[in-house]
Structure 1
Amino acid sequence: MATPQSPFSFLDGLLDRVAAGPQPPQWLVHEVQQRLVLFINHVLMQEKEAMDRLVRQRGRVARVQWRSYSMALLVTPAGLFNLAPQGGVPDLQLAVTESSPLALAETALRGDKPAIRIEGDVQLAAEINWLVDHVRWDLEEDVARLIGDAPAHTLGQMVRRAAQALWQFVGSRVTPSAAPAPHAADGASPGNADRAAA
C-alpha cells in the first residue's frame, strides 16, 4: 500500500534545484549573516539571563551548518554574538542533519527541535541549548514601540491565530512516516554531545 505524500512534497525538489543553482556573491552572504547576527543580538538584549550565560563563554566560537550553508558565531565579552573571523577552528559545531527545508518547517511548526549533530565543547552546547529553549522574540513588544500597545496587541492576536491555523493545516497533512523518530530530538540535547560526536 502506497504511503500518502504531503501535498507540498513537490516543493522539496524545487528548493533543491534553486539551492543547486548559481550561488549568491560572498558580499551578499556576509551582509545577510551580519543582519541575522544583529537580529539575534536584539533578541538576546531583551533577556539579561541569556547575556549573563553567554558572558561565561566569551571568546568561544560556535559554527552552525545546514547543507552547504554555515555561519560561525563568536561570543563577545558583552554576552552577545559577532561573526567569527574566517579560518578559525570552532569550539562547537552544530550540524542540522535534516536536509529538507519543508521537513524543517514541519518540525518547527510542531514546536520540535530539528535533529542536530553536536561536536565539541559540551558546556557551550548546554548554554546554546538553554538559549534555544528559553529565549523568544517578543514581536508584540517591538511592534508596540512603533504603533502603540493596543494595535500591537491586536496584530499579535491575528498573527497567533494565523500561526495556529497554519500549524493545524500542516499538522493534519503530516504522514506518520514523516513524523520524527522518538530518538531524533535526543541528538539535539547537549548531554548527548559525546554520543553524537562518536
Structure 2
Amino acid sequence: MPFESLVTATIESTLNLLVNDDPELVRRLARLKGRTIQVHLRELNKTLTFMFSQSIDVLAGYEGEPDCFLSLNLAILPQLGEQSNITKLIKEDKLTLEGDIQLAQKFSQLMADCKPDIEEWLSRVMGDILAHQLVQSAVGLGRLAKAQTQKHNDHLAQVITEEWKLAPAPLEIVHFCDQVDDVASRAARVEVKLNKLMDSV
C-alpha cells in the first residue's frame, strides 16, 4: 500500500471510529450526507477530500468538484467554527475558501469535536472503576510534572539572578528603571534651563 493511501486510510478509520463512538457526532455526520469538502494543507502541500455518507471517506485524489474547498494550515482548522473567524482569517490570508461557508463551519466543528474519550475506551477493556482510577492517576501525574517543571524553572531563575549573578533580579531591574527615569527627568530640567539662558543672551 502506498504511503499516501496508508495515511488517508488511517485518517478515515480514526475519524469513523471517533464519530461512531458519539451519538451526537453520528447525527451531525448524517446532516453532511452527500456533501464533499476538499482541504489543501499548506504546510504539507497535500489536498485531502472528505466525502460524507453513512461514514467519512478520505481520498488523496479526487477529480470531481467539491461543495467546498479550503486551503489552510492545519492549526487554523479549529477556528473555522465561528463565521467571524472565517472572515478574519481570509483577510489575513491564512485561509482560502471557495464554495459553501456553512459546510466549512460544520466540518470544522465536527473535526474539533472528534476527541477520543480515553476513559470510556479503557473501561471497555478493564472496567469502569479501574479505567477511572488509571485516568485520574495520569491526570495527577500530569499536574505533578507541571508543578515540578515550574518549581525547577523558578529555582533556575533564582540561581541565575542571585547566585551566579548572570542576570539582574526583578527588584534590581525596577530600581534601575527608576534611576533612568530620574536621570531623564533631571536632563529635561537642565535642558529647559539651558534654553532659557540661550533665549536671554
TM-score, normalised via structure 1 length: 0.53
- Return the alpha-carbon distance in structure 1 between the equivalents of residues 98 and 145 of structure 2: 34
- Could you list the structure 1 runs, at least 4 aligned residues long, displaced by more than 6 angstroms after superposition: 165-170
Larger radius of gyration: 2
- Name the counterpart of 1:75: 52
Q: CA deviation at 1:127?
A: 1.4
Q: Does the alignment pair 1:157 with 2:132?
A: no
- Name the counterpart of 2:22: 47
Aligned mate of 1:38, from 13, 30, 37: 13
Flag structure 2 segments of 5+ consecutive residues without an equivalent.
81-88, 154-201
- Return the alpha-carbon distance in structure 1 between the equivalents of residues 142 and 98 of structure 2: 33
Question: Counterpart of 1:151 in structure 2: which amino acid?
Answer: L
- Return the alpha-carbon distance in structure 2 between the equivalents of residues 166 and 119 of structure 1: 45
- Name the counterpart of 1:97: 73
Change in CA separation of 1:28 and 1:152 when aligned onto 2, cut-off 3 Å: same
Q: Comparing both chains, which one has the higher relative contact order based on Cα–Cα distances under 8 Å and sequence gaps of 6 or more? A: 1
Q: CA deviation at 1:158?
A: 3.9
- Return the alpha-carbon distance in structure 2 between the equivalents of residues 58 and 133 of structure 1: 18
- Name the counterpart of 1:124: 103
Question: Counterpart of 1:128 in structure 2: which amino acid?
Answer: F
Question: Counterpart of 1:53 in structure 2: which amino acid?
Answer: R
Higher alpha-carbon deviation: 157-166 or 42-51: 157-166
TM-score, normalised via structure 2 length: 0.53
- Return the alpha-carbon distance in structure 1 between the equivalents of residues 39 and 13 of structure 2: 16
Give the secondary-structure state (helix, strand or coil) at the position aligned to 2:21: coil
More helix by share: 2
- Return the alpha-carbon distance in structure 2 between the equivalents of residues 135 and 97 of structure 1: 19
- Name the counterpart of 1:88: 64
Question: Counterpart of 1:60 in structure 2: which amino acid?
Answer: R
Question: Counterpart of 1:126 in structure 2: which amino acid?
Answer: Q
- Return the alpha-carbon distance in structure 2 between the equivalents of residues 129 and 57 of structure 1: 12
Give the secondary-structure state (helix, strand or coil) at the position aligned to 1:154: helix
Is the contact made by 1:54 and 1:127 (CA closer than 8 Å) also made in structure 2? Answer: no
- Return the alpha-carbon distance in structure 2 between the equivalents of residues 162 and 155 of structure 1: 10
Q: Residue by residue, what CA displacement relative to the aligned partner does 1:166-192 show, whole Å, maximum 9, x if unpaired? A: 88879x9xxxxxxxxxxxxxxxxxxxx
Q: CA deviation at 1:164?
A: 5.7
Q: CA deviation at 1:63?
A: 1.8
Change in CA separation of 1:87 and 1:152 when aligned onto 2, cut-off 3 Å: same
- Return the alpha-carbon distance in structure 2 between the equivalents of residues 128 and 144 of structure 1: 29
Q: Residue by residue, what CA displacement relative to the aligned partner does 1:18-46 show, whole Å, maximum 9, x if unpaired? A: xxxxxxxx712212211221111111112
Question: Counterpart of 1:37 in structure 2: which amino acid?
Answer: E
